[in-house]
Amino acid sequence: MSVSLQVDGTVAIITLDDASTRNALTMESARDFLDAIATVQNDPDVAALVLRGANGAFCSGAARPLLAAARENPTDPAVMAALNKVYQCFVAAGTVDVPVIAAMRGAAVGAGVNLALAADVRIVSMETKLLSGFLRIGLHPGGGHFMLLDKIAGPQTSVAMTLLGEEVVGQRLVDLGLAWEALPDEQVDERSLELAKRCADPELVRAAMQTFRAQSASRSLPWHSALRAEQAAQMWSMGRKA
| CATH code at position 48 | 3.90.226.10
Q: Does the residue 128 lie in any domain? A: yes
Q: Does the residue 210 lie in any domain? A: no
What's the structural domain count of the chain? 1
User: How far, in Å, CA of 8 to CA of 205, rounded?
Assistant: 16
Number of other residues whose CB lies within 10 A of the CB of residue 84: 15
- Digit-by-digit pLDDT tens for the chain (242 residues) are 699 999 999 999 999 999 999 999 999 999 999 999 999 999 999 999 999 999 999 999 999 999 888 888 878 888 889 899 999 999 999 999 999 999 999 999 999 999 999 999 999 999 999 999 999 999 999 999 999 999 999 999 999 999 999 999 999 999 999 999 999 999 999 999 999 999 999 999 999 999 888 878 766 667 777 777 778 777 788 787 65
pTM of the full structure: 0.91
74: containing domain: 3-203+217-239
